[in-house]
Amino acid sequence: MKALILSTSRYPDGGAETVRMHYIAKLFQLNGYEVIIAARGACTGYKLKDYDGVQYLSLRGSGSSRLNKLIDYMNFTKNTKQILRNNGPFNAVLVMAVPTDSLLFLKRFAKKRDIMLLHDSVEWYSHEQFRLGRMSLEYRKKELWMRILIDSRIKVIAVSKYLEEYFKARKIIVIRIPVIMDVSGMSNKKSVNESKLTIFYAGSPGKKDYLRIVIEGLALLAMDELTKINFVLAGTTKEQLIKLCGVREQDIDLLGDSLAMPGKVSRDKVIEMLSFADFTVLMRSPTQRYAKAGFPTKVVESLASGTPIICNLTSDLEVYIKDNINGIIVTECTAESFAASIRRAINLTAGQRKDMCKEARKCAAEHFDYRLYQSSLAVLISKKEEG
């Protein structure tokens, strides 16, 4: 049996979706499939390469200009046809994020050839995320996919309970697989400063993560409290915090030496930096759909590294994050509530912090290692109808 995984994301050196498609490929392998990933990483000359036991190729040409990249994107369906013709036959095709015309082609192709077509559903945007709101093209594309194009002819892997229940209500065959990774292969060695609390966040600034509340909350702390904190904010600059996240410059300045901003770092560097962190932080909207439908990869990476998290409860996090066990729960999405949670973290003993690190790793091993979901994918493959 043979499966093709398609995505416009980079592979193997991309972000969260890259990690997810890699371990879903591993799940297909555990279920007896030969797998090929076709994505848009560095040019491979349309030849198969190997990454960690997974075959892949790039649908991107050798040109690196913006025009070349646009042409490659516009030719995604054409190149997909070439992959199907030259590397098949395939028994299953899994669609990640691809152009809409590619999905429409694949629905026709799969029906004609009796191929199983699947979709990995990991997000559902909120219109509040976009400057043009409901008129945003990206928002409208996602609405079209979620409400019309993803139908009973497609089997779905849902990342959250919210998405799982939505597709079940539409009588679409669905199983839930949260964020997964090779937890057993990740180091959880900690090298933290017992006298000072290191808090870590890594990511590109935007409207999804509420960095404004994090910074405002830290700015509410007294100076003697701030001296006990080292907040490492990787992936952004002061200017981006102000312009993109709405953070006040005076709040950033108030943090002084308690704030370190090393700039953009690679995912491997993020994993390395987690070994020096006592906590990571994540604040998201408790009401907007994107936070209910998605599942934050940052949380799983943090837990897998043995780093507890300070967060409010969105998505399915209440199932996994236990207050004062493997994290500290921020009860309200406000700067005041975040500041109160930071004070709780400051008052923990070194022994309590070490215990929380152990519990964080235990949670990841019990819930997010990809091997745990081999049977879930097997159920999805074999299901004939929902229910």
Tokens of 296: 């934050």
> What's the pLDDT at 16?
87
> What's the pLDDT at 205?
67
State whether residue 321 is helix, strand or coil: coil
How are strands ordered across the β-sheet holding 34-39?
49-51, 54-58, 34-39, 2-6, 92-95, 116-121, 155-158, 174-176
Beta strands (DSSP E) in 235-338 are 259-263, 279-282, 309-311, 327-329
List residues bridging with 92 in a β-sheet.
Answer: 3, 116
> What's the pLDDT at 51?
96
- Alpha carbon 344 to its chain centroid, in Å, reads 28
Residue type, 190: K
From the candidate CATH numbers 3.40.50.2000, 3.30.2130.10, 3.30.2130.30, 3.20.20.220, the one assigned to the domain spanning 2-181+370-382: 3.40.50.2000
Listed residue (229, 235, 300) closest to 259, CA to CA: 229
* Distance of alpha carbon 256 from alpha carbon 275, whole angstroms: 24
Same CATH topology for 2-181+370-382 and 184-367? yes
> What's the pLDDT at 71?
86
> What's the pLDDT at 65?
80
174 CB burial (10 A radius; 0-12, 13-18, 19+): buried
- CB burial string 338-371: b at 16+ within 10 A, e below: bbbbbeebeebeeeebbbbbebbbebbbebbbbe
* Distance of alpha carbon 335 from alpha carbon 208, whole angstroms: 16
Tokens of 100: 């809409």
> What's the pLDDT at 129?
86
- CB burial string 286-311: b at 16+ within 10 A, e below: eebbbbbbbbbbbbbbbbbbbbbbbb
What is the CATH T-level fold of the domain 184-367, as seen in this structure? Answer: Rossmann fold (3.40.50)
- Alpha carbon 121 to its chain centroid, in Å, reads 11
**In what helix (H) or strand (E) does residue 345 lie, and over which residues does it extend?**
helix 335-346
Tokens of 301: 């990476």
The answer to whether the bond into 12 is cis (omega within 30° of 0) is yes
CB-based contacts of 60, cutoff 8 Å, min separation 6: 40, 41, 42, 43, 69, 72
Residue type, 271: I
> What's the pLDDT at 63?
75
> What's the pLDDT at 13?
87
Which sign, positive or negative, has the C-alpha torsion 371, 22, 313, 241?
positive
> What's the pLDDT at 29?
98
Q: Where are the domains of the chain?
A: 2-181+370-382, 184-367
76-87 vs 66-74: helix axis angle to the nearest 10? 60
CA angle 192, 318, 144 (to 5 degrees): 115
| Rg of the chain in Å (alpha carbons) | 22
* Distance of alpha carbon 305 from alpha carbon 206, whole angstroms: 25
CB-based contacts of 268, cutoff 8 Å, min separation 6: none
> What's the pLDDT at 264?
86
> What's the pLDDT at 332?
96
pTM of the model: 0.92
> What's the pLDDT at 260?
94
> What's the pLDDT at 327?
97
State whether residue 57 is helix, strand or coil: strand
Helices (H), ranges, 31-99: 66-74, 76-87
Return per-residue pLDDT of the chain as tens, 387 residues: 999 999 999 999 888 899 999 999 999 999 999 999 999 988 898 899 999 999 999 998 877 788 888 888 889 999 999 999 999 899 999 999 999 999 999 999 999 999 999 999 999 999 988 888 899 999 999 999 999 999 999 999 999 999 999 999 999 999 999 999 999 988 888 887 778 899 999 987 676 889 999 999 999 999 999 999 999 999 889 999 998 888 999 999 999 999 999 988 887 888 889 989 999 999 999 999 999 999 999 999 999 999 999 999 999 999 999 999 999 999 999 999 999 999 999 999 989 999 999 999 999 999 999 999 999 999 999 988 765
**In what helix (H) or strand (E) does residue 267 lie, and over which residues does it extend?**
helix 267-274
Tokens of 127: 């219109």
